[in-house]
Structure 1
Amino acid sequence: MRESFLFVINPNSGTTLGREAGQMATLLEKKAKEAGYEAECVITEAKGHATELAAVASAHKQFDTIVAVGGDGTVNEVARALLHSGTALGILPLGSGNGLARHLGIPLTLPAALDHLWKSVSVTIDSATLNFQPFFCVAGLGFDAYVSQLFGKQSQRGWDTYVKVSMKAYLDYLPQRLKIEGQDAEIFSLSFANAGQFGNNAWVAPHADLADGLLEVCTVTPFPKWFGTALAFQLFTKNLRTSTYVAYQSLTSLVVETKHPALVHYDGEPWQLETNRIEVNIVPQSLRVRG
């Protein structure tokens, strides 16, 4: 039997996909047929719909691979439905950051990403949870969560919007005091990295390995305002580890306690918690991915 694909298209991902979701579905079915595969496309209608669609398809073993067409939020919604199943996740990275796709080396243009998808093989990677919420790339709190919250409120997506939001957030943001495994700490940001980057080639943990059974915990301590440009340069050149304000630990789990219920993010999605306790865990060898 021919290999089969279900493409789950998020019309709200990226900068132009929403206007082209119908045309995208037609194109993907056509390209799959030309390549000798069976394919079906569905377009999501609301937040969480991608998870529902992927869960039903996986449970009925309808497709060999379910492909998230969108950004890291779409990837997260599809991937969580495929955890501990025999169905593989595919990615067509048409979002704003595309962190997991970039880590896996998936091309960012549609023709090249499709060619990669047809030729790729499935590998098994780790996932992780933050207060039982699955994530696959990076989660955290502090500055990055604040940026994620502001970015999510913007009517326009894309790199330019992300830069503007980050600059504004940097002027407003104040470091946080909390406890990490019972020890007092003051942080600018605290990241839990399964993959190496947030997206847009912002490499928070370039040494992260998706299949080593460990999370790379990156703690950025407060630094002088003037040093922000240098820290950003280190982030985008994979040199964050050289900073005196940055420390790493390789862990399987971590507990963080905050003074007030924390704002966090997971795979770029902001989440206001109702608890002061944050528990993060790695889930080894839990997801099949075409990478």
Structure 2
Amino acid sequence: MVDKRYLFVVNPHSGTKLRREADSMAVWLEQQARKAGLTAKAIITRARGHATDLAAEAAATQKWDTVVAVGGDGTVNEVARGLLFAPTSLGILPLGSGNGLARHLGIPLTLSAALHHLFECPSVVIDSATLNGQPFFCVAGLGFDAYVGQLFGQQPRRGLDTYVRVSMQAYLDYLPQRIRVAGRDTEIFSLSFANAGQFGNNAWVAPHADLTDGRLEVCTVTPFPKWYGTALTFQLFTKGLKPSTYISYQSLREITVETEQPTLVHYDGEPWQLDTGRIEVKIVPKSLRVKA
């Protein structure tokens, strides 16, 4: 059965495209849906967490078949957490900076193509995951990636150019971190918990990750010589990252990591300063319905 009732949740602070166009975007989306013979409403979010409230209400009332996140990975995360274990589907119009989940799912990145895809494609059920109870759907982690996420979030402009510039700056002053996993101490450059395969911007940390296999791909990158950074970056953006001297993978359902002091992490690119040195990450199988 084709979904016919769409609630569009528009984040006016997402990415580079919506900041001055949220009102006109909302009107346009309703018009396009109605032209396609569908019922639609577009709501612009007012604050952090508003998208989750809207999605949860939609799921509880079953008034809408699909709740569409119009924005980037942060918007997708907020909407998706309101739809966990609900029959209501998540839709994605990828207008953010990285668009990691959309890219993994093969959703078109241009607005018109993504909208057509949204109206025509079926829904599938995928896994989600949690980090200390915080839901994520793409990738979470600590170390270098969390540091970049924090710096990126402080920038007045988003986009790939900003991400590359911030990453290069971070690479020059970042220091590796010591962690303990299963009673064993190790030093890491980064530790990623991948449900989907990439961070966003086609940076594939776990090219073999599967959203439906009930497992997380845990990628550990240990400290490496400065010259290796170029090769690592090339592999990351060409879907060529694989086990090597400095890179290892584990396929797990859950993992507990301990740090010497409360550490900075990220979930779907959103930085989060923990107040504990204990990090518990778990897969949540078959927990989200997505139009893809």
Which range moved further: 274-283 or 175-184? 175-184
CA contact (8 A) 1:2 1:36 kept: no
Instruction: Give the AA of the match of 1:233.
Output: F
Q: What residue is the counterpart of 1:146 in the other structure?
A: 147
Counterpart AA for 1:255: T
Q: What's the RMSD between the two structures over aligned residues?
A: 1.0
State the alpha-carbon separation in 1 of the partners of residues 174 and 40 from structure 2: 46
Give the Cα–Cα distance (whole angstroms) in 2 for the partners of residues 227 and 233 of structure 1.
Answer: 10
Name the SS of the counterpart of 1:255 in structure 2.
Answer: strand
Give the gaps of 5 or more residues in structure 1. Answer: none
- Equivalenced residue count is 291
Conserved 8 A contact 2:219-2:250: yes
The Cα shift of 1:197 comes to 0.1
For 2:114 and 2:38, the matched residues in 1 are separated by 16
Q: Compute the displacement of 1:56 (Å).
A: 1.2
Change in CA separation of 1:137 and 1:209 when aligned onto 2, cut-off 3 Å: same
Counterpart of 1:214 in structure 2 is 215
Instruction: Report the Cα offset of residue 242 of structure 1.
Output: 4.7
Instruction: Read off the aligned partner of 1:115 and give its amino acid letter.
Output: H
Shift, 1:183, TM fit = 1.1
1:244 Cα offset (Å): 2.2
| Aligned match of 1:71 | 72
Q: Which moved more, 1:1-10 or 1:210-219?
A: 1-10
**TM-score using structure 1 length:** 0.99
Mapped contact 2:104–2:197 kept (Cα < 8 A): yes
CA distance in 1, matches of 2:82, 2:142: 25
1:45 alignment counterpart: 46
TM-score, normalised relative to structure 2:
0.98
Structure 1 pair 136–2 and aligned structure 2 pair: CA distance change class (3 A): closer
Q: CA deviation at 1:243?
A: 3.4
Does the 8 A contact of 1:129 with 1:282 survive in 2? Answer: yes
How far apart, CA to CA, are the structure 1 residues paired with 2:264 and 2:59? 32
* 8 A contact 1:126–1:211 mirrored in 2: yes
The residue that corresponds to 1:170 in the other structure is 171
Name the residue aligned to 1:196. 197
In structure 1, the partner of 2:37 is: 36
Q: In the alignment, is the contact (CA less than 8 A) between 1:231 and 1:243 conserved in 2? A: no
Residue number in structure 2 paired with 1:136: 137
Q: Which shifted more, 126-135 or 239-248?
A: 239-248
- Structure 2 distance, partners of 1:178, 1:201, is 28
50-59 or 130-139: bigger deviation: 50-59
What SS does the aligned partner of 1:240 have? coil
Task: Measure, in 2, the Cα distance between the counterparts of 1:121 and 1:272.
Answer: 37
The 5 A counterparts of 1:1-291 are 3-291=4-292
Structure 1 stretches of 4+ with a deviation exceeding 2 A read none
